[in-house]
Amino acid sequence: MAFGAQAIDLSEGDILAGACTLCHPLPGGNVIDHILFALTYGQDIAHSIVTKTVNKLIESILISKEVELIAVCGNPIQIALFTNGELRDLAFSPDAMKRKGICIPARDGQILDAGSLGIDAGCDRTCSVVNQSRGWC
């Protein structure tokens, strides 16, 4: 699961630039490995690795036009790692969740401040976060 980014002219719909990673920035080959990494070494560390990768992608495609919006999509685990949101419910059985007091969070699309997520788009903009269950990228 590589990360990708595109600069899109919203008025024309043209793709102006694009970049992608060759692999997922977290160690492992699947989402279970990524959850295990976050639970073992700390979700803050996993989130930091993800946001640093996103920032590098944004930096590599920045063009002279102003950034108006950053749209993000992914599966629930990717979104949780990006937003530093709850992901333990995706790792444990219902019985284990009950014992640990873990509740399933709402996973609807959100509009979040890019800066509060650690995203530096070169300006103060919001980040529209859409998870895969609500739409495809």
Query: At 31, which CATH number?
Result: 3.30.420.480
- Which candidate, 128, 131, 132, 109, places its Cα nearest to that of 8? 128
Contacts of 12 (CB under 8 A, 6+ apart): none
- Domain-embedded: residue 99: yes
Contacts of 22 (CB under 8 A, 6+ apart): 2
Contacts of 124 (CB under 8 A, 6+ apart): 113, 114, 115
Helices 76-83 and 43-61: crossing angle in degrees, nearest 10, is 90
pLDDT values of the chain reduced to their tens digit, one per residue, 137 residues: 689 888 888 888 899 899 999 989 999 989 999 999 999 999 999 999 999 999 999 888 877 667 777 888 888 898 899 999 999 999 999 999 999 999 999 888 888 888 888 888 765 556 665 555 444 44
Q: What is the pTM of this model?
A: 0.85
Domain count, the chain: 1
pLDDT at 137: 44
Whether the Cβ atoms of residue 56 and residue 46 lie closer than 8 Å to each other: no
For 76, the domain range is 4-131
- Domain-embedded: residue 115: yes
pLDDT at 126: 63
**Number of other residues whose CB lies within 10 A of the CB of residue 134:** 11
pLDDT at 135: 47
- Domain-embedded: residue 8: yes
- Domain-embedded: residue 137: no
- Domain-embedded: residue 123: yes
- Domain-embedded: residue 28: yes
| CB-neighbour burial class of residue 66 (10 A; exposed 0-12, middle 13-18, buried 19+) | exposed
